[in-house]
């Protein structure tokens, strides 16, 4: 990402925007909404969930920052929650418990996201109809947490300031499909083979590390909220005309044999300005990409079949 966390949390101030959080009462939704409320980039915060949203909105509305906050609750208020929004963030879903894989929750969470996405599409139908296209450049699977974790873990091992570390992470967002490109890290770092392998494994299984540590009380919520906010701020910065904003995200792609793949993306007012691709990979990373393909293709097919069979 361009701009940094002292720079990473530096905001462009050209324009403030309306952001909707769908799933705002949940474990990720509440801290994410708090971070968004704290940003000068956000002028209006629209919070939606199936329960408790009026209370979350009332609580956040007492914070002395510019964003106005409105809570919407229940399916009949979803359309109103989306009206006029520039960015829609969807943290809604059910968390993992110990022993569960992300795949175990697929049907439940896919149904939740599909229902919300359907409402988003209905809301922007006039815009889509006017342009005559569905625009894949404005739909992102947010994998930022993998980058955030990679940055933190590399910084910890090397004694660096995490705010100045940037590790691209490509592929998907589950297990071995999470591929940290340590060879492309800035600043440049090197690890012995065994340490590199262990570091890669920790990044890939970091979500499970949190699930186990929470011992049945949920999955990664606070770090995910941070990552979701970071991606949203990057998107808003780019929409406001800031140049050189780069984030990794899982998008429609022609960079590999997979239809969808996460790579670094140059963002602009229109979403994806340019897919920056995989770049130069080490032999170790090439092997990781090759080994991830079958699982990633299977996950993509499962998602496509789910949508095709939706009633």
Q: Using CA atoms, how far apart are residues 283 and 280, in angstroms rounded to an integer?
A: 10
- The H or E element containing residue 265 is strand 260-268
Phi then psi dihedrals of residue 138, to 5 deg: -120, 15
Q: Per the annotation, does 182 bind a ligand?
A: no
Q: Per the annotation, does 28 bind a ligand?
A: yes
Q: Per the annotation, does 29 bind a ligand?
A: yes
Q: Per the annotation, does 240 bind a ligand?
A: no
Token pair of 160 as six digits: 């660096």
**What letters, b where the CB count within 10 A reaches 16 and e where it falls short, cover 111-150?**
ebbeebbebbeebbeeeeeeeeeeeebebbebbbbbbbbb
Whether residue 62 lies in the annotated active site: no
Could you tell me which residues are beta bridge partners of residue 275?
Answer: 265
Q: Using CA atoms, how far apart are residues 301 and 106, in angstroms rounded to an integer?
A: 13
Q: Per the annotation, does 23 bind a ligand?
A: yes
Q: Per the annotation, does 26 bind a ligand?
A: yes
Q: Per the annotation, does 12 bind a ligand?
A: no
Q: Per the annotation, does 303 bind a ligand?
A: no
Contact 167, 206 (CB under 8 A): no
Q: Per the annotation, does 109 bind a ligand?
A: yes
Q: Pairing between strand 17-22 and 87-89?
A: parallel
C-alpha distances out from residue 202 to 57, 154, 190, 197, 212, Å: 36, 11, 17, 9, 13
Q: Per the annotation, does 4 bind a ligand?
A: no
Q: Spell out the residues 6+ positions from residue 76 whose beta carbon is closer than 8 angstroms to its own.
A: none
Which is catalytic among the residues 10, 52, 62, 173? Answer: 173
Peptide bond into 92 cis (omega under 30): no
Which positions are annotated as active-site residues?
173
Question: Annotated binding site, which residues?
Answer: 23-29, 49, 109, 224
Question: Annotated binding site for NAD(+), which residues?
Answer: 23-29, 49, 109, 224
């Amino acid at each position: 990402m361009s701009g940094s966390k002292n720079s990473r949390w530096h905001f462009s101030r050209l324009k403030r925007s309306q952001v909707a959080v769908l799933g705002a009462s949940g474990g990720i939704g509440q801290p994410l909404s708090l971070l968004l409320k704290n940003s000068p980039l956000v002028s209006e915060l629209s919070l939606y969930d199936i329960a408790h949203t009026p209370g979350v909105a009332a609580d956040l509305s007492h914070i002395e920052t510019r964003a106005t906050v409105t809570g919407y609750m229940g399916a009949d208020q979803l359309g109103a929650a989306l009206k006029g929004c520039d960015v829609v963030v969807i943290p809604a879903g059910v968390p993992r418990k110990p022993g569960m894989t992300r795949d175990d929750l697929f049907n439940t969470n896919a149904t939740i996201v599909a229902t919300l996405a359907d409402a988003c599409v209905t809301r922007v139908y006039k815009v889509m109809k006017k342009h005559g296209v569905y625009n894949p450049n404005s739909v992102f699977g947010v994998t930022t947490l993998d980058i955030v974790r990679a940055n933190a873990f590399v910084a910890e091992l090397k004694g660096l300031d995490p705010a100045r570390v940037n590790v691209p992470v490509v592929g998907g967002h589950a297990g071995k499909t999470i591929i940290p490109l340590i060879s492309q890290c800035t600043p440049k770092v090197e690890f012995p083979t065994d340490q590199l392998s262990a570091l890669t494994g920790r990044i890939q299984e970091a979500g499970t590390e949190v699930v186990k540590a929470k011992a049945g009380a949920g999955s990664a919520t606070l770090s995910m909220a941070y990552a979701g906010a970071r991606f949203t701020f990057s998107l808003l910065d780019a929409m406001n005309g800031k140049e050189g904003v780069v984030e990794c995200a899982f998008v429609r792609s022609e960079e590999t044999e997979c239809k969808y793949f996460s790579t670094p993306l140059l963002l602009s007012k229109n979403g994806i300005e340019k897919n920056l691709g995989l770049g130069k990979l080490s032999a170790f990373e090439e092997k990781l990409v090759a080994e991830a393909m079958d699982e990633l293709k299977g996950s993509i097919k499962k998602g496509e079949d789910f949508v095709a069979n939706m009633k």
